[in-house]
Amino acid sequence: MTASAGSIGAALVGIATALTISRRRTIRAITAPGLAIGYALVFTVDTTGALIVGYLAALTWWGIRLTAHTLRLAFPQPGTALRRLAASTSTSSRSSPNSTHYSFLLSCLVL
- pTM of the predicted model as reported, rounded to 2 decimal places: 0.64
* Cβ count within 10 A of residue 107: 13
Computed over every residue of the chain, the mean pLDDT equals 82
Q: At what angle do helices 78-92 and 98-110 cross, to 10 degrees?
A: 170
Dist CA 9 CA 48 (whole Å) = 10
In angstroms, the CA 106 to CA 62 distance is 28
Q: Encode pLDDT of 44-62 as tens digits.
A: 889 889 999 999 999 999 9
- Non-local (6+) Cβ contacts of 72 within 8 A are none
- Pair 16, 39: CB distance under 8 Å: no
Q: What angle do CA 27, 59, 12 make, to 5 degrees?
A: 65
What is the predicted pLDDT for the residue at 111?
A: 47
